[in-house]
Amino acid sequence: MLKHRGFPGRLPGTDFQFTIRRANPKGVTPITRRERFRDRKPADRRADAAFMEALWQNFGDQPFERGNLDAGRLSWLFEREVIAAEDPFDPASYDALLVIDADAARMSFPDIFDGVR
């Protein structure tokens, strides 16, 4: 499992984690699409925005390996702002390649992408 050095481990001041420390010995948690409903808590929305900003700062529009990125946090963005970069895609692999859909990310998180082309 690739560890993304320099990637924030969590949203500061909260328990929203962005990375995991070690591989799960029972098996990899698969990435699945989670629905984001309009009535989500503001803290959840801040965590999504902070995670998206960290992804953009670390990877930009280039494909990246899932590695130690938290599956639960990725699932809130999966198949919208973060999409599979390979076909076939294995959602239960630490080696799976993902990529940011910059257009979708700009629409969902305009504050992060102000002035970014």
* Whether the predicted pLDDT of 114 surpasses 80: no
pLDDT tens per residue, range 40-91: 899 899 999 999 999 999 999 999 999 999 999 999 999 999 999 999 999 9
Instruction: Choose among 20, 32, 24, 34: nearest CA to 70.
Output: 20
Q: What's the pLDDT band for 16 if we cut at 50, 70, 90?
A: very high
pTM here? Answer: 0.89
Distance (Å, whole) CA 53 – CA 82: 12
